[in-house]
Amino acid sequence: RHSSTMDKSTGRPTKKKVVAVVGGGLVGALNACFFAKRGFNVEVFESREDIRQAKVVKGRSINLALSHRGRQALKHVGLEEKIVSQGIPMHARMIHSPSGKQSPIPYGKKGQYILSVDRANLNKELLREAETYPNTKLNFEHKLHDWTAETGLMTFVRSDGSKEQIKADLIVGCDGAFSAIRKQFLRRSRFNYSQTYIPHGYMELTMPPINGQFAMKPNYLHIWPRNTFMMIALPNLDKTFTCTLFMPFEEFEKITTGDEVIEFFQKYFPDTIPLIGSDALRRDYFRLPAQAMVSVKCSPYHINDKCVLMGDAAHAVVPFYGQGMNAGFEDCIVFDEIMEQFNEDFSSVLPEYTRVRVPDDHAIADLAMYNYIEMRAHVNSKWFLFRKHVDNILHFIMPRTIIPLYTMVTFTRTRYHEAVERWHWQDKLINHGLMFSSAGAVLVVSFMLIKNPPDVNKLIFAAENLWNRLMALKTSVI
């Protein structure tokens, strides 16, 4: 078990402020570890039952992609190696064409990968770790009823209907996209808030093992891009794949029978039918309706020196950059770094946290929206693939000058908004370079043709021959 901070003169635990963490999900549980490690008396309040004892874990289950930012936060509390050992490395996207052809697109340099991790298992590990600190108390089935920013007084309703009050020096809202803590922020002036539901929903399907082994290559994030929608599949430790179909709600609603499900998959994802199973598709497609996805932006993240928002409560993002959890975990480490900088003075720490973090979280929210277009459509483009190769070659030649956007976001802790600014600058530079290179090539060819003019009759003969072939091809196609 971890020990709390000790007073060197008395040898007793120092009397520390009370930090109330509202929300026992991923970011809330990790935050509890960060605050407890600093010696604060931490109380975690979660409205649901303890998922470690629950027979059925309620809530979202889209697989998580753990990358550098999240790993650094886990490392800070000594959990990186344990969580990494429970994940499956994914070194590249594996693009599935309608014909069944598979083409990998590496995420970064050799050795760079993201990890497919199980949400529920990760949450359980973080709660176990938080509980190893003697200055942490976990309170389950405690729903926030009311709180006051001026005094830090909070009222919770237990599962039996009784109420409990606690006074905290700092309230940390980690209670998700529909945060009860954030409702108080909405009542205050000069609080900016926006919520956007995208027109696409998601549905999860399971691809079972075949003869005890993965049905597809496991070390990839599999993608079936179909321009206006897509399906992805991430590997699990039990040798299954969790497949997630992302599609406009109106398209989901068009499919009303089992036969229509099979027809749809035969048209767009034919290679998955034998892997998922026709009967499973007919059954599971209608098990739950398509779920909505919301993007939330707000500012500021704090009220005075009493309350701060983190994770989805501050910046819910759509899941297409695999950064929702990583951004939430990075919130914890950024806050901890600012705590160190300002000697745990909340009156200085909270406004600085807002100043530093808001532009980054807004940037990753926008990038997540952009990446959906890239994943479902751009990966089919030859220009996109060409640019990927150009970017990677330039990164290899000039590793400090040209860094691909995905590398900055996924494999470094470059601030999100700085990564976006650098990406736009690099994009202009590379596009101008390619344009000038093309113009230079045209000039060289033109000069050579002027200096050594070709036989005109041969050119005419070649042009006529090419035309005849094209006409023949057109006729055969018709």
pLDDT of residue 448: 66
Please, what sign has the CA dihedral across residues 208, 211, 213, 214? negative
**39 vs 13: CA distance, rounded Å:** 8
pLDDT of residue 8: 47
CA distances from 129 to 5, 17, 143 (A): 17, 21, 23
Per-residue pLDDT of the chain (478 residues; tens, 9 = 90+): 454 555 444 444 455 899 999 999 999 999 999 999 999 999 999 999 999 998 765 555 567 999 999 999 999 999 999 999 999 999 999 999 999 899 998 887 888 999 999 999 999 999 999 999 999 999 999 999 999 988 999 999 999 999 999 999 999 999 999 999 999 999 999 999 999 999 999 999 999 999 999 999 999 999 999 988 999 999 999 999 999 999 999 999 999 999 999 999 999 999 999 999 999 999 999 999 999 999 999 999 999 999 999 999 999 999 889 899 999 999 999 999 999 999 999 999 999 999 999 999 999 999 998 877 766 655 566 666 666 667 777 777 777 778 888 899 999 999 999 999 988 888 787 776 767 776 666 666 666 667 677 666 665 676 677 667 656 644 443 3
CB of 194 within 8 A of CB of 177? no
What integer pLDDT is reported at residue 227 of this predicted model? 85
Q: Give the model's pLDDT for residue 138.
A: 97
Instruction: Tokens 């905290």: give the residue.
Output: 168
Q: Please name which of 323, 326, 299, 334 lies closest in space to residue 313, comparing C-alpha atoms.
A: 299
pLDDT of 325: 96
Residue 206 and residue 242: Cα distance in Å, rounded? 5
Domains of the chain (ranges; CATH) run 18-367 (3.50.50.60), 381-450 (no CATH)
Q: Residue 54's pLDDT is what?
A: 81
pLDDT of residue 314: 97
Say how many C-beta atoms besides its own lie within 10 A of residue 135's C-beta: 22
Structure tokens at 314: 């501050």
Following DSSP, what letter does each residue of 156-187 receive, concatenated? EEETTS-EEEEE-SEEEE---TT-HHHHHHHT
Q: What is the pLDDT of residue 3?
A: 47
Q: Which residue has the tokens 């289950």?
A: 61
Report the distance separating Cα 62 and Cα 89, nearest Å.
Answer: 17
pLDDT at 476: 42
Pairing of strands 18-22, 41-46: parallel
Residue 12: the pLDDT is 43
